[in-house]
Structure 1
Amino acid sequence: MTVRFAIIGCGFIAKKHIEAIAGLPHAKLTALCDVVPGRAEAAGQLYKNVSNDSSPVRFYTDVSALLADPEVDAVVIAVISSLHASIARDALQAGKHVMLEKPMALSLKEADTLNQTAEADGLQLLVCHQLRYRPLFRKIKQLMDDGTLGKPYLGVASIRINRGEHYYSSASWRGTWELDGGMLINQGIHLVDLLQWYLGEVSSVYGDIGKGSIKKETEDLAAGVVTFKNKARGIIEANTVTLPSNIGYGLSLFCEKGSIVVEGPALTSVTRWFLKDDPASQPDPSVITNTQEQLYMYEDFIESIKDPAHTPLMGGTEGKKALETIFGLYQSARLRHPVSLPIRSFHIRNMEGGDLS
């Protein structure tokens, strides 16, 4: 079975999706949609250049028309954050499987609706937290799950990058709560997802956020303390005001029987790997340098479409977890006290008009 994909939103991030589809034998790109004239056609040309597929690709400017296309089995949604949930809902209602860029939604109600719709209609919904598919991070998950690292004590997620004024001025929706959704939701969510994947179910979050000098609504810095149900603690520290340019990202795990630290601009530098029961152990270099997570994510998604009994690693229920943790941090910053999870309700519009000074 070959899964026929369409991509909605042909901006920068679409390139990774096109390359992944082109690299898989059981996937093909059949349609592209973008409201900007010429952008879908340019994406179609890229697909022709990187694939061996000579069959025609159809171009759309109207999402509804694309969703009515019977030659599309699954859609990849890569538009601005505020449109993720509504387009995903429409796609599921049209009978399409959905691969959804992060964040999956800007409210908990929207996230729940997507999960309920996918389950009710027997469709697959996958959220693009692709770092879970990287071999290095899967190896760490294995060490956590099989007890090699022992009881987790502390995890730290660090995001130290730069997003200057040009980044926000290049698109009017960037830096707005309603359309963009905040720095943590956009630049920090992958690390937050890994943190809670490793340390388990979140019990509470205590956080604060602030702004730099760029005139916009959303935060430039965030700090949070996460308490997990297993009594482990997590620290989230994130900023987009790092000068003069990105330092990168970091994920640190401190456990009963080991410590692991992965960092760098692309999270490919292992600066600490100590296992108490096997002190000489080190990850294979090929595991550290393998960054084909986008391809592995697509393989998992395709397998779940071919075999409905196969649950994808990053299904919608898993995709909601990091989102809810960040919403908890935002809620805590707004209310000035710790917030217990699960949260009954939250919409990103709750953050509008807040004082981030």
Structure 2
Amino acid sequence: MWKAGIIGCGYISKKHLASIIRLDSVELHAVSDVQKSRMEETASFYQENIVGSASLKQYGDYQDLIHDPEIDIIIITVISSLHAKIAKQALQESKHVIVEKPLALSIQDADEIIKLSRLKQKKVLVCHQLRYRPIFLKLKKLLEKGTLGKPYMGTVSARINRSQEYYESAAWRGSWEHDGGMLINQGIHLVDLLVWLLGDIDTVYGEVARNNQLKEIEDVATGIIHFNNKAKGMIEVNTITKPATQGYCLSLYFEKGTIILGGAGFDKLEHCFIEGEDQIVRELKETSKQKDEHFLMYQNFLESVLNNTLLVVDASEGKRALEVIFGLYRSNNNKLPVKLPLLNFSTIEMKAISCHKEKIDE
């Protein structure tokens, strides 16, 4: 039985608890949060849903949880700016890691996590759970078989609403240093799907805008991607949609077909055509109704830990979408396309640029 510890007992941690509760090979051993009430709430939720569950350890200092010798897996669900620091500390203690997106807020931190994971021979799962949704797993296999032919273009859009109350609910929200940027938080899952399905990237060009001056980060982001295979990509994400979130869309255009998924819950197959493959189209339409990606992600992680099999989103894969977004941000600053891979970048650069611009505008 593998023993896990959760660091951060906020809203997102409940999704991880729901998956752990369904697994026979892993159990929650300890929780950590700066708020004692949230630790107690998390412990109670878990114990109410597990038959014969023993009492959980509660650590006010997360480092005590990391040093607990009984724990095999560290689950990180804290604010973005702490992801890399805690992941590296956990790896140094030879723990496997499950970390919420984003993996890090700098290229350097992401690279250090990748290096440590290999050095310590421990798994790092980055929670890009949409890759595990059955329709995307099936699409990936079809692409690898060449069923859809050459990729021509892919576009992603997210039309989201984030109110002022949302940003005021926590001091770290809306800051480059601790939150990391709107595209990193609200758009990264779509960007991850785009690069996973279409391939490696040559250059990125992007522009961002900030309309709400009461926060640091952008609320509009647009980008153009040139893939190594000559396909083109487009990114369009905003958090200023009125009066409420309208939904998400991924459109994929290939030599032999077109796939478009959208809807408020990103679960509607709006268009599906593949030349001469009516049966596959029917299967895709049926598969589009299936979800449970978070549980499937955990199953993949545990299988990878037990048998050293492929982890769909390891640290290297978790870096890919992050690097695209970093490239888009740097392009916005330099007003030029940016070639990947990036050797360096940190969201702190965006804070510095924003402060400089504000001084010029005064």
| TM-score w.r.t. length of structure 1 | 0.97
Secondary structure, aligned partner of 2:288:
helix
Match of residue 83 from structure 2:
84
Secondary structure, aligned partner of 1:246:
coil
Deviation at 1:52, TM superposition (A): 2.5
Question: Per-residue displacement from partner, 1:176-215 (whole Å, max 9, x unpaired)?
Answer: 0000000010110000000000110011000000012351
User: In structure 1, what is the Cα distance between the partners aligned to 2:320 and 2:284?
Assistant: 30
The correspondence of residues 1-357 of structure 1 with structure 2, limited to 5 A, is: 2-279=1-278, 281-283=281-283, 286-308=286-308, 310-352=309-351, 353-354=353-354, 355=357
Instruction: Flag the 1:53–1:199 CA change in 2: closer, same or farther, 3 A.
Output: farther
Secondary structure, aligned partner of 1:10:
coil
Instruction: Flag the 1:169–1:232 CA change in 2: closer, same or farther, 3 A.
Output: same
Deviation at 1:143, TM superposition (A): 1.6
Question: Per-residue displacement from partner, 1:103-135 (whole Å, max 9, x unpaired)?
Answer: 000000000000100100111111000000110
Q: Is the 8 A contact 1:248 1:263 kept in 2?
A: yes
Q: Which amino acid aligns with 1:261?
A: I
Deviation at 1:291, TM superposition (A): 1.5
Deviation at 1:56, TM superposition (A): 1.6
Q: Is the 8 A contact 2:269 2:285 kept in 1?
A: no
Q: Show structure 1 runs of 5+ residues with no match.
A: none
Instruction: Flag the 1:7–1:256 CA change in 2: closer, same or farther, 3 A.
Output: same
- 86-95 or 43-52: which moved more? 43-52
Deviation at 1:304, TM superposition (A): 1.6
Instruction: Flag the 1:153–1:35 CA change in 2: closer, same or farther, 3 A.
Output: same
Deviation at 1:50, TM superposition (A): 2.5
- 299-308 or 97-106: which moved more? 299-308
Greater share of residues in helix: 2
Q: Which amino acid aligns with 1:154?
A: M
Secondary structure, aligned partner of 2:283:
coil
Deviation at 1:279, TM superposition (A): 4.1
User: In structure 2, what is the Cα distance between the partners aligned to 1:255 and 1:47?
Assistant: 45
User: In structure 2, what is the Cα distance between the partners aligned to 1:204 and 1:213?
Assistant: 29
User: In structure 2, what is the Cα distance between the partners aligned to 1:210 and 1:53?
Assistant: 52
Question: Per-residue displacement from partner, 1:67-87 (whole Å, max 9, x unpaired)?
Answer: 111111001000000000000
User: In structure 2, what is the Cα distance between the partners aligned to 1:255 and 1:50?
Assistant: 45
Q: Which amino acid aligns with 2:294?
A: Q
Q: Which amino acid aligns with 1:18?
A: L
| Over 6 Å off, 4+ runs | none
User: In structure 2, what is the Cα distance between the partners aligned to 1:285 and 1:153?
Assistant: 22
Secondary structure, aligned partner of 1:312:
coil
User: In structure 1, what is the Cα distance between the partners aligned to 2:207 and 2:294?
Assistant: 32
User: In structure 2, what is the Cα distance between the partners aligned to 1:49 and 1:262?
Assistant: 37
Question: Per-residue displacement from partner, 1:318-348 (whole Å, max 9, x unpaired)?
Answer: 0000000000000000100100000111011
User: In structure 1, what is the Cα distance between the partners aligned to 2:252 and 2:101?
Assistant: 24
| TM-score w.r.t. length of structure 2 | 0.96
Q: Which amino acid aligns with 1:287?
A: T
Q: Which amino acid aligns with 1:6?
A: G
Secondary structure, aligned partner of 1:337:
coil
Identical counterparts, % of pairs: 45
Q: Which amino acid aligns with 1:8?
A: I
- 45-54 or 120-129: which moved more? 45-54
Instruction: Flag the 1:53–1:144 CA change in 2: closer, same or farther, 3 A.
Output: farther
Instruction: Flag the 1:285–1:151 CA change in 2: closer, same or farther, 3 A.
Output: closer
- 200-209 or 214-223: which moved more? 214-223
User: In structure 2, what is the Cα distance between the partners aligned to 1:133 and 1:53?
Assistant: 31
User: In structure 2, what is the Cα distance between the partners aligned to 1:53 and 1:251?
Assistant: 44
Question: Per-residue displacement from partner, 1:126-172 (whole Å, max 9, x unpaired)?
Answer: 10000001101111111211111110100001111100100000001
User: In structure 2, what is the Cα distance between the partners aligned to 1:26 and 1:103?
Assistant: 27
Instruction: Flag the 1:222–1:323 CA change in 2: closer, same or farther, 3 A.
Output: same
Q: Which amino acid aligns with 2:255?
A: E
Secondary structure, aligned partner of 2:303:
helix
Question: Per-residue displacement from partner, 1:242-299 (whole Å, max 9, x unpaired)?
Answer: 0000111110001100000001122110000000122463235552222211101111
